[in-house]
Amino acid sequence: MEDIRVIAIGGGSGSGKTTIVRKISEIVPDFNFIPQDNYYKSAEYINNSNITAFNFDHPEAFDNDLLYEHLLALKSGKSIEMPQYDFVHHRRKEETVPLEPKHLIIFEGIMVFSDAKIRSLFDLKLFVDTPDDIRFIRRLERDVKERGRTVDSVINQYLEVVRPGHYEFIEPTKLYADLIIPEGGFNDNALRVLIPFMKEISRTEEEKR
């Protein structure tokens, strides 16, 4: 398969990256979605009371070798078995999801721009930029509702590792972005500009003829 493009969407936790991808998927029919979160290394000994004993907000928290291998395979027209991640138990799930190659790959996560080798595979780089207070409120709500977390553990983790990690490893990668999107998935103007481009590159050979 020719012309396989990778669009990377980076930005802080709770900035709205996943929401952007959901909005894109309502209009762009067919693409491979790779959440960087699926490539977290397992840390099953972690729970609410020792949440900072593993730093999930460090570039080495991810299995970058497997990520590179998988992105390169998809970009070369090969299929992969994508891992799945369990946020409640902080570990990789047993099951994987088979992905067949498609013309468009969307790769999303907090540290998608940290690794130079992985970065070299990207055709378009977007950074979602949302103020810290808004990101924290969204994260607190989400982690308590969906990720089995207590309010105390979210606050503790945020102050000890998430916030420092954001300034050390995420914010500086904004300089790699081709486009910066303020306020994420509810920025209708940004989506209006981006979606036709994504629609075009996700078309199959047959549709292009």
Ligand X SMILES: Nc1ncnc2c1ncn2[C@@H]1O[C@H](COP(=O)(O)OP(=O)(O)O)[C@@H](O)[C@H]1O
Ligand Y SMILES: O=c1ccn([C@@H]2O[C@H](COP(=O)(O)O)[C@@H](O)[C@H]2O)c(=O)[nH]1
Give the interface with ligand X as residue ranges (CB under 6 A): 11, 13-19, 138, 142, 183-186
Annotated binding residue at 14?
Answer: yes
Does 49 show up as a binding residue in the annotation?
Answer: no
The footprint of ligand Y on residues 128-187 (CB under 6 A) is: 162
Q: Which residues contact 165 (CB under 8 A, 6 or more apart)?
A: 55, 57, 58
In the complex, least distance from residue 155 CB atom to ligand X, rounded to whole angstroms: 17
DSSP element (H, E) containing 171: none
| Residue 18 is labelled as binding a ligand | yes
Does 74 interact with ligand Y (rule: CB under 6 A)?
no
Number of residues this chain uses to bind ligand Y (CB under 6 A): 10
| Binding residue (CB under 6 A) for ligand Y from 39, 40, 62, 136 | 40
Token output for 172: 């500086």
Could you give the CA distance from residue 88 to residue 145 in angstroms, rounded to a whole number?
11
The residues, ordered by sequence, that sit 6+ positions from 29 with a Cβ below 8 Å of its Cβ are: 202
Q: Which of ligand X, ligand Y, none does residue 57 bind to, with CB < 5 to 8 Å depending on kind?
A: ligand Y
Element (H, E) at 7: strand 5-11
What residue numbers does the annotated binding site for ATP cover? 11-18
